[in-house]
Amino acid sequence: MAEKKKIATRESCGNALAALGAEHEDIVVLDADLAGATKSGIFKKAFPERHFNIGIAEADMIGVAAGLSTMGYVPFAQSFAMFAAGRAFEQLRNTVGYPHLNVKVCATHGGISVGEDGASHQCCEDFALMRAIPGMVVMCPCDDAEARAAVKAAYEHEGPVYMRLGRLAVEQLYEDCADFEIGKGKVLQEGKDVAIIATGLMVQEAVRAAELLKAEGISARVIDMCTIKPLDEELVIAAAKEIGKIVTCEEHSVIGGLGEAVCSVVAEKCPAKVARLGVNDEFGHSGPGAKLLEEFGLSAEGIVKKVKEIL
């Protein structure tokens, strides 16, 4: 495991885009007047002629990105998840999804960990919204290396991609992700008593939870599911067949996200017990991001509690 340095995946995305921009002149970056917060300013500093601030007009930004994609460019549109997925949903559905255009959306500040910005900005519905758009790839990387690999994979993928990135700095789990593939999960730790399938910053908490469970004699298989759509069904089915008990973990509503995606596979192809850990049918509220994660049970301790319930 890599040295425990911390970096927010939104910053990883900014660094990755700047690096890719040096190799590929067709990359352009669009921003909705949030270059500092989304870290698209890193790309702007390197390639000011390929960075476009559309202003506080997210729907317009997606329309511009769609147009640029038809001219041979690969646009990366960036804003907060609440605005990129929420405010611009109709444009993403009809202007990008329907014609299957090559537009990439890098949505930062997703989930409860946005913290002090409160419920209006804590988007816990974006996975559900984006999964519902036909042909849309949905990803949520867990650390710096995986985020940089996901950005590269998004560029190489022909078609629309939605990627959620975090505000909080998170520990590095990977040295690199050279073998990263869209639609493929990774087993980080083997186990036989329960499978923990996590995405985003909940992957770090799943690893911590596995250590806590180990101390109590419980063996957990930990799976990093960066791509929520298309889901790695093989890993899910293997967990269902070989273990029979699965806990899903996400910084998203339990409605429409990773948990429901896993449940759909299990129900149709290999029945097993599944417990979903996420934000229940409620809004968040203002507070420090780390404290809110604890309050909503989105922590290693929360995972341990959920595992014990299913066992």
Give the residue numbers annotated as catalytic, written as ranges. Answer: 58
Which ranges in the chain belong to alpha helices (H)?
9-23, 35-38, 41-46, 58-69, 81, 89-91, 126-131, 144-156, 202-215, 233-242, 258-269, 289-295, 300-310
Q: What is the number of H-type helices and E-type strands within the chain?
A: 13, 14
Q: Parallel, antiparallel, or unpaired for β 137-139 and 74-80?
A: unpaired
State phi, psi for 51 to the nearest 5 degrees.
Answer: -115, 130
Q: Which residues contact 268 (CB under 8 A, 6 or more apart)?
A: none
Q: Report DSSP letters for 215-271, one per residue.
A: HTT--EEEEE--EEES--HHHHHHHHHHT-EEEEEEEEESSSSHHHHHHHHHHHHS-
Dihedral sign, CA of 104, 110, 116, 120?
positive
**Residues counted in the chain:** 311
CA 222 to CA 197: how far, in whole Å? Answer: 6
Q: Which residues contact 79 (CB under 8 A, 6 or more apart)?
A: 31, 32, 34, 38, 58, 61, 88, 107, 108
Amino acid type, 240: A
